[in-house]
Structure formats: structure tokens, C-alpha cells
A and B are shown apart, each in its own frame.
Chain A
């Protein structure tokens, strides 16, 4: 062999073009065939997975597949609401007087609380951790942005996600999405004969990116901003005061609100009037600016100031209480448990501001399960009674063969006869989260 290799003369000749092309074509054909075979095999496996078994269940349901990390699976089996209530009870126990200052200082050190911002410098005055957790801040510690066109941060915290809503779905984290209907609830049927102003936009959530629809809706909102005793008022009427003068708003309306008329109503009206002067909102329809739905998710860490404030001047028309679970809302769990915000207990406040629809949803967590809304004294969150009532309502709906909406709704239409809801001015304290 060695002699043959050494002595054989090697002569190089060009390969004919046709032969080269045929060779390359053959190689490519082989690759395509192999790829197609693999694709068909994958499709066959997929189809087999989707086939139903004898009981009409998809065959792949019988396979054991870990759907979530084990930490999440363990968490879903725990009585989190009971833990949360126990945690709340424990933290409402009074701390011995001489242990308060070192205890709160240790807490502040661990969770990065700035004690120089706290309204009450004498830490002895906080009887327990729950009171310290729900502390107030010094006057001027959180100045509001002077720009009247700015949307303010409602709380201290970290921005988890923000952006534009398209197709009615909110992106949570890393592509996980949930629908607006799941978060805020679907539209409730209007009750004839009542004075409740129905939020005309809640039924069209998710289709706000269409210019034509939006402008049409804007016109409708303009025309039907307030409805009292069956009379429709435009916002222009309301702001100019002509509604009161010409349309007999002094007709006695049954007060169904949970609190008296807000003291800030006049200021909200003034803010809305400022918007009228500074924007083209009231310009002819052709010049109107199209609107879209935006969203923002803010996470409050344990050491943060846990009261929340109104981000804009707006009118809260209704609230929906979803008595769900109380999973932790730590960014890790938000990432690993899809639709977490649609599972947890939350209070959805629905209303409108100068550009249309506005909603504000505080979502509870295991350690901070109680949501307080200052102007809603009837609201009880993380309560055994409320949960039992919600369970009973769900059972009742099931018995009737209906789907349970998942929330209990209250309206604030009596709070302000003119604005048709509870008026909140920019930066006004709305409520907060309390321990347990």
C-alpha cells in the first residue's frame, strides 16, 4: 500500500460543472429529506399527544409533567390566607415599651427604612409593628412633580413592568401575559332605573389601539360623562357648572356611596378644567388625539412606605373586590407563577380621568394582605367573613348554572352628584396596605 501510494502519480483535473452541481444538489436533497422526516415525526408525536383517551381526556394529561417549580407547587397547597391573618394578629400585639425603639431600628436596618422621613420621630408612639409599618411620612417628604401633565407614582416601590396594552393583554414578566378581563373583571350588566353611571369604556378594553374606535369612544365619553337621574351631562357642562344650573341637579338622589362627598371634589374639577385649557381635548373631533391603554406595575418591598396616593386627578366610579388567594408578589414568584395578579386578592378601582378610562388595582400579598381604601369604609379585605361570603356567592352561581364573576362590586355614584363618583385629586392619599 505504501509503495502504491508513493509511486502513484496524482494528476488533478477540474470536475465538470454539471457533475459538481449534481453532487451539491444531492447533498442538499439529502438534508431537506432528513429535515422533513424529523418534522413529520414531531408532528406525529404532537398529534398522538392531542388524541383523546377512552374517557375523553387528552392523552397527554395522563403524563406526569412538572408544570411549575416545586416551590410554587408547595406554596399552592398552603393556607396562605390563614397565615396572613395570623401574621396580622401577631403584628398587632403591643411590643413592650422599652423594646420598641431597638426593635423598629432593627427592622429599619434590615429593610432599609429611612427613619428621618417618618412623621413621628418618637418611635415609642408606635405600639406594634403593624402601626410602624403603616407609618406616615413627614410633610414634604414626597413632593409631587409640578408638571400637571405628569402621572405620579402612587407609592414607593420598584417598577416591575410598564408599557402599552395591545389585544387586551397585559404582559407580566418575560412574555407571560394575562387578560384585562381576568385582572379587572368583565363588565357588569347595567341596572335599569338606577342612577349609576356605567363606565362606558370597560366593555371595550383591549380594543383601544384602533384609532377609529377610540375617537368614537372619546366623543361618547364627552357626551355622556355624567348621568344623574337619567339625565346625561357632558363633562363640559359639569366643568362650566351649567349642569347644576340648567339640568336640575338638585333633584334628590339616593346616596348609595360608602362615604360622604369628597372634600377634594372642587379641586379635581379645577384640575380637569385646567386640562381643558391646556390640551386639545375639547377641540373639534378631527383634531382629537387618539388614545391607547397603558399599564404600570409597581412592587412595594417590606420596608417601603405602604400608603398609596392618587396618581392623577380622577373620579372613582366603582370598586371590585376579588377575594382571591394571597401568594407572595415577590418578583421571583411573579416570574414563575403566570397570572399571579389575577389570582391574588385585590381591589380594583374603576373610573375615569381627563383622557378616559382609569383603573387602579392594589394587589395583596401574604404578609401584606389587608388593603385599605380611605373613602370606602365598608370594604373588608383578607377577612374570613368576606371569603365565606364569596364562597357562598360562587356556590350559589354554580347552583344556578351561572359563571361566578369572582368579585363583589360597589359603586360610588352618590359620593359626588356632579362627577358621578368619588373625586380624588392628584397626590391625595387613597389608602394603603396593612400587615396581615
Chain B
């Protein structure tokens, strides 16, 4: 059996040019804290906003 989750989450804010924005990168958005192939348990964090 398998579970597929699809959800909307923040991409993060674009840094200002003063902060060194070079295109593409974002800060403070949703970040995964898992690896492909990793074993997880119920309640473990998959990622953080």
C-alpha cells in the first residue's frame, strides 16, 4: 500500500537584491527534512514550513 500526498505550501519569499538575490532562490519556504528511500514513522516530521 502507498500514500500519496499533494499539498500547497509556501515557496518562501524572494530575497531582495540588496540581500544578494541572483534569481531563483527563496528563503523561509517549505523545506523537506527527509531523504529518498528513508524509513519514516508516524508523527515524524517530513518537512517544515
Q: Write the residues of chain A forming the contact surface with B, with a CB cutoff of 8 angstroms.
A: 137, 142-145, 147, 149-163, 165, 170, 180, 183-184, 201, 205, 208-209, 211, 214, 279, 289-300, 305-306, 308-309, 311-312, 329, 334, 341, 346, 353, 355-365, 368, 427, 433
A149/B8 in contact, CB under 8 A: no
> With A155-B42, A162-B32, A362-B1 in contact, is A291–B10 under 8 Å at CB?
yes
In the complex the two chains form, what is the Cα distance from A378 to B35 in whole Å? 37
Within the complex, the shortest CB–CB distance from A181 to chain B, in Å, comes to: 12
Residues of B within 8 A of A363 (CB): 1-4
A-B contact pairs, 27 of them (CB 8 A): A142-B42, A145-B44, A147-B45, A149-B48, A150-B48, A151-B7, A153-B43, A156-B40, A158-B37, A159-B34, A159-B37, A162-B34, A163-B32, A183-B4, A289-B11, A290-B10, A291-B8, A291-B9, A291-B11, A292-B11, A295-B7, A312-B7, A329-B1, A358-B5, A361-B6, A363-B3, A365-B1
Q: Provide the residues of chain A in CB contact with B41, threshold 8 Å.
A: 142, 153, 156
Q: How large is the interface on B (under 10, 10 to 19, 20 to 34, 35 or more residues)?
A: 20 to 34
B18–chain A nearest beta-carbon distance, Å: 17
Known: A297-B4, A361-B3. A142 touches B48 (CB 8 A): no
With A and B bound together, what is the CA distance between A294 and B47 in angstroms?
11
* A294, B1: Cβ atoms closer than 8 Å: no
Q: Which residues of A contact B28 (CB under 8 A)?
A: 289
Q: Are B10 and A159 in contact (CB under 8 A)?
A: no
Q: Say how far A359's CB is from chain B's closest CB, in angstroms.
A: 5
- How far apart sit A255 and B47, CA to CA, in the bound complex (Å)? 36
Are the CB atoms of A359 and B42 closer together than 8 Å? no
In-complex Cβ contact of A364 among B1, B10, B47 (8 A) = B1
